[in-house]
Structure formats: C-alpha cells, structure tokens
Amino acid sequence: MRKIFLLLFITTINFAGEALKPTRISTPPTIDGKLEDAEWKNVLSISTFKTFSPDFGKDGSQKTVAYAGYDSENLYFAFRCYDTEPDKIKTSVNSRDNIRPDDWVCINLDSFFDQQSLYAFYINPNGIQTDSRYATGIEDFSADFVWYSAGQMLPDGYSIEISIPLKSIRYSDANPVTMSIFFERYVSRMIEHSSFPELDPKLGMAFLMQMTPLEYRDLEHYTLFELLPAFTYSNKYARNKNELTRTENKGDLSLTAKYGITSDLILDATYNPDFSQVESDAGQVDVNLRYSLFFAEKRPFFLEGSEIFNVAGLGTSEVDPLGTLVHTRTIVNPLTGLKLSGKLGTKNTLAALFSMDELPNDIDGKYASFPILRFKRTLSEDSYVGAIYTGRETKNNFNRVAAVDGIFRVTQSSTLEWNGIFSNTKYSGIDKAKDGSVLSLRYAMDSRDLYYDFSFKNISQDFFVETGYLTRNGALSLTGLVRPKLFPTSSFISRIDLEAFSAQLKDMPSEKWETFNHVSAQAFMFGSLSAKIKFIYATEIFEREKFNTGGFAVSFGGQFTRQLSSNITYRRMQSIYYSSSPYQGYSNRLTATMTLRPTQNIESYTSFVFSDFRRSANDELIYEYPIIRERLTYQVNKYLFFRGIAEYNKFKKQLLTDFLVSFTYVPGTVMHLGYGSLYNKTEWDEPQNRYLASDSFNEVQRGFFFKMSYLWRT
C-alpha cells in the first residue's frame, strides 16, 4: 500500500510540474488561417511532437509547430503543419462535426486542471470544426460550443488559427487560472496521431494525467447571460384511404436562457422547448429483437453537459446489459426543462436536470416528471467519487434510482471502476413498490504493449431504470479481456492487436449459466487500412432455455484514397428466434458503408445493412431484412449545406426521402428547412374497405418543417 501511495504521489508531482505560460497579446489576431499577424511571431511555440498511435514515442512523420496566446477575453492557438506530400493531405469543406476522417489538429483543454474532463476542439485544414466533451472514459461529440477557426492550404502543408471565447468554456473563478492542454495532430493517410506533451507508453491512453499545465493571468470572469429564442413550424400529412390529409399545421415559439452564476457554474432554463431533430434516424434492423434499439440523443438542450451524467462501471463490455442511467431519449415530449451544471470549489462537480414530459394520454396523468441530480468529488489524479439520483414520476407510478460510483487510479497504468445502484419502482398492476440493485466492479490496465480488463456485475431481477438504457435484468456476470499489441518491423503492417474475451453470465430467473467467448486478430496496414477476424463461442438463455449463439465475423476497410473510404463487416452467427416459443436458428448479417468525396464540397455516403434468419431444424427462411441508404450533401461553405436522403427498407417495403437545407453561423444561430415523404407498396381497395399490396410505391406520409433560432449573448 505504501508503494502504491508513493507512486500516486510521484505521478501527481510530475503532472503538476512547471506550467507553460502562454503569451498575453495586446492586439487580437485576425482569424483567417494565414499566421501573418505580428502577434504569432512572439508567442509561446512548441514543436516537439511525438507519436502515440500507431506506436508511442517516435518523431512525427511531419513537422508540427503549435502556438498559444491570450487576452482577457479569448484564448488563441495556432498550428503550422508541414507536410512533405501536401497533395496527399485529406481535407473537406463540410458541416460542423463531420471532419474526423480528414487530417486535423486538436486542442484538448482541461479548463479546471482537475484531470476529470476536457474540451476538445478539432479543426481540419480548411478550418472546419468538430468539438466534444470527454469525461469518465467517454468522448461525447454531440456537444457544440461557440468558437472561431480558419485554415489555409500551403505549398508545404497547412496552417490553422483558433480563437476560443472565455464565455464559451467553464473555468475556475481564480487568478491566475490554471488549465492544462494536450496539443494533437492527426495524419489520416498514416493513421498517425502525434502530440505535445509526449504520452508515456507505460500510461497508455490515460492522457488526462499527462497534460501540460497552462497558467493564465488576469482573465475576465464573466456573468454570462444568453437568450436563445426559436421558432419552429411543421406541416404534416398522413394517408387516409387514397388521399393525404393534414394531421398537423402549427407553429411554436420557444425560449431558452443561460445564466452564469459564476464562471464555473451555469443555470439553463427553457420553456416550450424545441426538441425536434433536423434529420431522421438511420434505419436499423428492428425485427426479432430481445430488447429495444438504442438511438443517440440529438436534441440540443439535453446535449450540453451530458457527459457529467456518465457513471463509472457501466457499458463495460459488449455483453453488459446496463449501458447508462441517463438516456434522455426516454423524455419524449417535454414541456419545460431546467438545468444547473458546473463546479463548486475546485473539487466538486454538480449537475441537475428537471423536465416535464407530456404523456400521450391521461391514463397515468398528463405529465411525467424527470428529476436528475449528479455530484462528483475529485480525488488525486483522475480519480473521483460520485453520486447520482434519477427518477420518473407519474400520477400513479414511479421509478427512482440512486447510485454511488467512482474511479480510483491504482497504478500509473491501471484503474478500478465501481458502482452501487439501488432502484425503487411502482408500476401498473403492482400494489407494492419493488426494490432492485446493481453492483459493479471493473479493473483495467492499458499500456503500449498490453491492455486487459476484468469486471463483475450483479443486476437483480427487480432492478429497473426508466431514465436509462437497460437491456436485461436478473443477471450476474464475470468478464475478462486481454489484448496484447504487437509492433512488427514490416513496412506495410504497423500494428497487430490480438484479443481474447470471456464472459460468464448467470440468468437468475432460470438459475442457468450462459457464456460468451471470442478470440480475434486485427491488423493495421498500408497506413490507413485495417482487417479483423473474430471467432465466437457463445450460448444464451431465453425463456429458461439455452441456445447456441456463436459464429464468426470478418471486417475490412479504411481510407483507400483521399476521395474514397469504405468499411465492410460480415457475421455468420447461430441465433435465437425470440418469441413465446423460441427456437434455434442461424443468421447472416452484412454491414457496408462507403464515403465518396469527388470534390471538397460534395459527399456521398452510402450504407447497406442485410440481416436474415433461418430455422436450424429445416433450413426454412424466416425473414430477410435489407436496408440501403444514400445521403448526398453539397456543402456550399462552412455555414450552408443542402442534403438529400433516400432510404429503402425492403422488409417493410418502404421508401423514405428527406431533403434539408441547413445554415449554421454558430451553434444556436441556425436556420433549417426540411421536407420529407414516406412511401410503401400498399393501396386502398374500396370494395374490400382495406389496404392491399401494390406493385408501386404510394405516398403515405409527408412533412415540412422550418426552424430558426438566434443566440444572443452578453
């Protein structure tokens, strides 16, 4: 124990070494990507970038210089990215949050210097942005912040300029303000990540512990106030016999306000919020499912600060039934919302969310209320302890969940995650509320050459979480994963990952054990391609019967040229037909995607999913389910794009079309105009007074929407 304590102490001292001191500048640089302003010649600069992927500790194949300056209102950064083959730099004119396949640079900023979370600001060579929040081992790309960037292609590479307003981030209410930073560059054709500071191979990807401190003096500490008024209009039609009749024609006004109690504690409130999506969810195979599909949250009000609700020890493996305690897509039709998030002192993080959800009928009252409260206390390094409460309350029923959780850094390269969760649920038909519980432990170690992960989870039969995502209760599981990483001297294979995984799960209702085991090998080759093969031995308990669910999977793909990337995965698995009388079968599943960018402004994204199921006893085909989707985007500039989507679902015999015009000046100041239709192969037969199958597509739904909002900030 004394040895572990000493190791933690030494690591903390190393992290908190002498801080970099960005240069204070008197005249703000013009953010045009050119690096011609005199201010950049005299600011702090860094050029000692080292790789951490595909391998650690090597000089970057391309020279990179990063710059840092600031004034009382903004943080300024710049990059000069040299390239010996500039014609191979991959870039695009794209909308926000769609540049990850490109070359890019990134500012990873821990604005509280607490090793718990960070902001990530990504920029491609054309100055197009992506941003995210990272916490509890999860990077959330749904976050959007107001900041400014520009890029310029040069004969020997490219240059980037960045301005981050202090009003857009949260930071400590102190002087000086200490943050920490991790400069990053990605070269897509080599799948090469390089950084300053250099990552220690013994610590693996634990970069929150290895960031370099930054010291800023005399920053402004704002009393932030924002208003976001929005107007939404929708006009919907649905088929009634042989005619489309209007089902909705309404306009809505909404107002969202943000108030900075301090520079690190923010209150958000909204009335009659617009939670509409501007693009339909991609189709998924939704037949023969044991549990409901997971759709990611896309509604802006719920996205900001959502990383704070991450709980340690959840979603620990591919067979973990409990993914999250807070999945806000369970709030379907909210009337109002209130949020509080930020820091109390240097070590305490607080987040609270309350929303009233309008119910579709009055069977259980008019509204469901969703109170959610989260607290975290920072310990040494990236360790913490926390607590969370989530609830869903209706007139006659409720689900209340309370939990404690934490992450402890045990050694330089290993962590222990844990949680204890308790639920109390009352639902229709049950006189007395039922209590449930979850206990989770996870130990993981990551270094250059080896990753391993062991977990334990016990979910009781009466545990429910209506605010989260739970696929199964009444399960006890033990899992273990070992992944050695090899670095051949071959000129075309840069890394090989071998993997062995085993999960043993006890199904409590049947008192039977099931198993899931796989071995796999993945090779990273030719700079930007990868191939993987995986063999699986598995069983599953359903309706108290044991079935075989093993098989194999192969995948291949990557960036073939600057214009073309593609990935394909094929799985052949033994499967279960889920019903009250289940039976053994087998299935094939093929998933393929292709992205083609003939110019920097045009992108074609094509996806194809195929799944089938056959009964093992007689090889009878039960179903085939193919979906093909095409999304074509023309990006006029970084603000405006036109997008068309067509999706054909052969199983449902449906054709979906969507058209969208979108303008985003900054997050919050947006305008969207959309039109969509749904067709199927049915037609109304008047003599029989019912719909019959048809050889042609007929329109069954049509919709038009318009949305406009404006962000006003003081």
pLDDT along the chain (714 residues), means of 10: 33 53 93 92 93 92 96 96 95 88 96 92 96 86 90 96 94 92 95 94 86 93 87 93 92 89 85 65 73 71 78 92 92 87 87 91 88 94 94 94 96 94 90 94 94 97 95 95 92 91 96 96 90 97 95 96 94 96 96 95 96 96 96 94 95 94 92 95 90 91 94 90
Q: Which of 101, 156, 109, 110 is nearest to 128 (CA)?
A: 101
Position 650 in a domain: no
Measured in whole angstroms, the distance separating CA 572 from the mean position of its chain's CA atoms is: 28
CB-based burial, 97-131: b 16+ in 10 Å, e otherwise = bbbebbbbbbbbbbbbbbbbbbbbbbbbbbbbbbb
The answer on 165 and 96 residing in a single domain is yes
Say which amino acid occupies 209.
Answer: M
| Token pair in block for residue 13 | 């001292």
| Cβ(102)–Cβ(51) below 8 Å | no
CB-based contacts of 350, cutoff 8 Å, min separation 6 = 265, 340, 341, 342, 343, 344, 374, 375, 376
The answer on 448 and 535 residing in a single domain is no
Residue that the structure tokens 């996870």 belong to = 442
| 3-state secondary structure labels for all residues of 551-595 | EEEEEEEEECCCCEEEEEEEEEEEEEECCCCCEEEEEEEEEEEEE
Whole-Å CA distances, 90 to 99, 204, 232, 353, 648 = 10, 27, 37, 41, 31
Euclidean distance between CA atoms 8 and 14, whole angstroms: 10
Euclidean distance between CA atoms 33 and 335, whole angstroms: 43
**Domain boundary, last residue among 176, 196, 216:** 216
Residue that the structure tokens 């989507």 belong to = 645
The answer on 69 and 105 residing in a single domain is yes
| Cβ(633)–Cβ(93) below 8 Å | no
The answer on 438 and 303 residing in a single domain is yes
Euclidean distance between CA atoms 136 and 314, whole angstroms: 10
Domains in the chain: how many in total?
A: 3
The answer on 341 and 367 residing in a single domain is yes
Position 565 in a domain: yes
Say which amino acid occupies 374.
Answer: R
Bridge partners of residue 481, in order along the sequence:
453, 501
| Token pair in block for residue 250 | 């309404």
- Give the pTM: 0.83
Position 222 in a domain: no
pLDDT of residue 277: 58
Euclidean distance between CA atoms 312 and 520, whole angstroms: 27
Kindly report the CATH number assigned to the domain that includes residue 206.
Answer: 2.60.40.1190
The answer on 112 and 125 residing in a single domain is yes
The answer on 211 and 135 residing in a single domain is yes
Position 298 in a domain: yes
Cis peptide before 484 (omega within 30 of 0): no
Euclidean distance between CA atoms 607 and 629, whole angstroms: 5
**Domain boundary, last residue among 619, 636, 653:** 636
The answer on 451 and 542 residing in a single domain is no
Position 307 in a domain: yes
| Token pair in block for residue 568 | 């394909």
Range of the domain at 327: 294-483
The answer on 628 and 497 residing in a single domain is yes
Euclidean distance between CA atoms 337 and 548, whole angstroms: 46
Q: Which of 131, 179, 138, 256 is nearest to 15 (CA)?
A: 179
Position 694 in a domain: no
Position 682 in a domain: no
What's the DSSP call for residue 22? P
**Domain boundary, last residue among 453, 483, 513:** 483
Measured in whole angstroms, the distance separating CA 433 from the mean position of its chain's CA atoms is: 34
Euclidean distance between CA atoms 427 and 67, whole angstroms: 58
Euclidean distance between CA atoms 459 and 447, whole angstroms: 31
Measured in whole angstroms, the distance separating CA 416 from the mean position of its chain's CA atoms is: 23
Residue that the structure tokens 């073939």 belong to = 560
| Token pair in block for residue 229 | 């008024």
DSSP 660-712: EEEEEEETTEEEEEEEEEEEEEEEEETTTTEEEEEEEEEEEEEEEEEEEE--E
Position 336 in a domain: yes
Euclidean distance between CA atoms 517 and 537, whole angstroms: 5
| Token pair in block for residue 397 | 């029923």
The answer on 504 and 466 residing in a single domain is no
The answer on 430 and 408 residing in a single domain is yes
Q: What is the CA radius of gyration of the chain?
A: 27
pLDDT of residue 11: 34
Cβ neighbours of 319 (radius 10 Å)? 20
The answer on 500 and 478 residing in a single domain is no
Q: What are phi and psi of 41, to 5 degrees?
A: -75, -20
Q: Phi-psi bin for 710: left (phi > 0), alpha (psi -120 to 50), beta?
A: beta
Kindly report the CATH number assigned to the domain that includes residue 367.
Answer: 2.40.160
